[in-house]
Amino acid sequence: MTGEYHFPPAPDSLQRERESIDGHAIPRKTHLAKRKNKPPLPLPSPTRPAPAAAGGGAARRHFRCARLPPRCAQLLLVGRPFPALRSAGSDCCFGIHPEKIMSNVPVAVVTGSNKGIGLAIVRDLCKQFKGDVYLTARDPARGQEAVAKLQEEGLHPLFHQLDIDDLQSIRVLRDFLKEKYGGLNVLVNNAGIAFKVSDRTPFAVQAEVTLKTNFFGTRNICTELLPLIKPYGRVVNVSSMVSISALGGCSQELQKKFRSDTITEDELVELMTKFVEDTKKSVHEKEGWPNTAYGVSKIGVTVLSRIQARMLNEKRKGDHILLNACCPGWVRTDMAGPKAPKSPEEGAETPVYLALLPSDADGPHGQFVSEKTVRTW
Ligand code: NAP
């Protein structure tokens, strides 16, 4: 379930009222008379359900802009999260122009951001990105805990549940972003897993589980969310330098395929599936694969990024979207352990740099980047 509040559809009478207001059919006087002497109820926080209002469900209480130039004639429905209301404009009685409410607030989403590098990326984006920043987590309790931690630092991330292994969870987020923001400006695909070297889980199981999240989960997110990316949007797929060393451990034939400028997403999916199948038959080494499930999963992420960037060039060239894969470096997190040299904040630097490439930048795009530097694939 998501941590967001989902309000029920308005009953028929309200739906009619909404339509007539959107169509400007309600005269100004009637509109103002209805509001007279009724101060607006406090609006709910974006991450909390609306408080129950006296005399009926809060989700069904409506307010309208009192100044009502025709463009402003919108219903504001209590119960719907309004992060935009934090910033005060002056165009309507809620201190904000309704256009800003639906789609003009830029929005950034970071996957797997309840801890580690993802959390550090959210922290940086809260400070530097001019818009709403969504911390997401598969476990809402862990996610809310992380949000509370950043709030203690004076930051204001929003929260949405997201399990990248769960297509339904991805689609709930997709629909939410579409409805509330009309798209997405920044997507950082950070969520990932790795078995510890000492883990005794059979290699074939490690391969299946690791590929499921790191490659197939990341791909599913991209399939659902890339169409939502707005012009000048930025997409960052967190891969690893291990993808480069694992590529070096592949057969010449596989290396050629993974370096190809014409490999398709379907072909890549076929190869990633074959790796998992080969490990089950214990023939992966004979078939030219390196002995690292994590490394192969990150080859998948890097090659996927190259393909996606190519597709953007072909289909949305004029939209100036920049999409890259990156390595955060070796970072002290639960995944990499306490001996790694970089702090999570240092690990966030390259992903955040790519997420905030200025609007007049025409690159990097379709690259593998570490230490803010393009690396040869
Ligand atoms: P981490 O501390 O283990 O954090 C991983 C994050 O991903 C956690 O929030 C985890 O959530 C989340 N996650 C895992 N599976 C998920 C799923 N199915 N859906 C949603 N979220 C999921 O690891 P990290 O070191 O910060 O790694 C972040 C990224 O950087 C990963 O992609 C990793 O491969 C990459 N990376 C790390 C290093 C390094 O040295 N640390 C180096 C190169 C690349 P839970 O708390 O629920 O498990």
Ligand 1, atom nearest to 298 Cα: 34
> Is the pLDDT score of 100 beyond 70?
no
CA distance 322 to 313: 10
Task: Kindly list the catalytic residues.
Answer: 294
- Residue 92 pLDDT: 45
Strands of the sheet containing 322-327, edge to edge, are: 158-161, 132-137, 107-110, 184-189, 229-238, 322-327, 368-370, 373-375
Query: Percent of the chain having pLDDT more than 90?
Result: 72
The token duo for 316 is 């949305």
The residue ranges of DSSP E strands in 204-252, in sequence order, are 229-238
Mutate to test the pocket of ligand 1, among 110, 113, 117 (most ligand atoms within 8 A of CB): 117
Number of residues that this document lists for the chain: 377
> What's the average model confidence in pLDDT over 213-238?
98
Task: Choose among 54, 376, 43: nearest CA to 241.
Answer: 376
Question: Cis ω on the peptide bond leading into residue 364 (within 30° of 0)?
Answer: yes
> Is the pLDDT score of 218 beyond 80?
yes
User: Could you tell me which residues come within 8 angstroms of residue 30 by beta carbon, excluding any fewer than 6 positions away?
Assistant: none
CA distance 70 to 151: 37
* Span 333-350, pLDDT tens digits: 999 999 999 999 999 999
Closest protein CA for atom 34 of ligand 1 = 192
Task: Choose among 324, 301, 299, 147: nearest CA to 221.
Answer: 301
Q: How many alpha carbons lie under 13 Å from residue 123 in its C-beta half-sphere?
A: 21
Closest protein CA for atom 31 of ligand 1 = 192
Ligand 1, atom nearest to 162 Cα: 20
Q: For strands 322-327 and 229-238, give the pairing.
A: parallel
Pocket of ligand 1 (CB under 6 A): 111-112, 114-118, 137-139, 142, 162-165, 190-193, 213, 217, 238, 240, 327-328, 330-331, 333-336, 340
- Residue 101 pLDDT: 54
Task: Choose among 223, 190, 228: nearest CA to 307.
Answer: 223
- Residue 104 pLDDT: 84
Residue 195 CA, chain-centre distance (Å), reads 24
93-107, 116-130, 190-204, range with the lowest pLDDT: 93-107
Question: Cis ω on the peptide bond leading into residue 202 (within 30° of 0)?
Answer: no
Task: Determine the distance separating the centroid of ligand 1 and the alpha carbon of 28, expressed in angstroms.
Answer: 53
Closest protein CA for atom 43 of ligand 1 = 240
Task: Determine the distance separating the centroid of ligand 1 and the alpha carbon of 138, expressed in angstroms.
Answer: 11
Task: Determine the distance separating the centroid of ligand 1 and the alpha carbon of 187, expressed in angstroms.
Answer: 15
CB neighbour class for 35 (10 Å; exposed up to 12, middle 13-18, buried from 19): middle
* Span 249-279, pLDDT tens digits: 999 999 999 999 999 999 999 999 999 999 9
Task: Determine the distance separating the centroid of ligand 1 and the alpha carbon of 171, expressed in angstroms.
Answer: 21
* Span 47-66, pLDDT tens digits: 333 333 333 333 333 344 34
* Span 57-94, pLDDT tens digits: 333 333 443 433 333 333 343 334 343 333 333 444 45
Average pLDDT value for the chain? 81
Closest protein CA for atom 11 of ligand 1 = 112
Residue 238 to residues 13, 33, 216, 242, Cα–Cα distance (Å): 48, 54, 14, 12
> What's the average model confidence in pLDDT over 1-29?
31
* Span 146-156, pLDDT tens digits: 999 999 999 99
Closest protein CA for atom 6 of ligand 1 = 112
Q: Is the dihedral of CA 366, 122, 169, 15 positive or negative?
A: negative
CA distance 289 to 247: 9
Q: Which residues pair with 162 in a beta bridge?
A: none
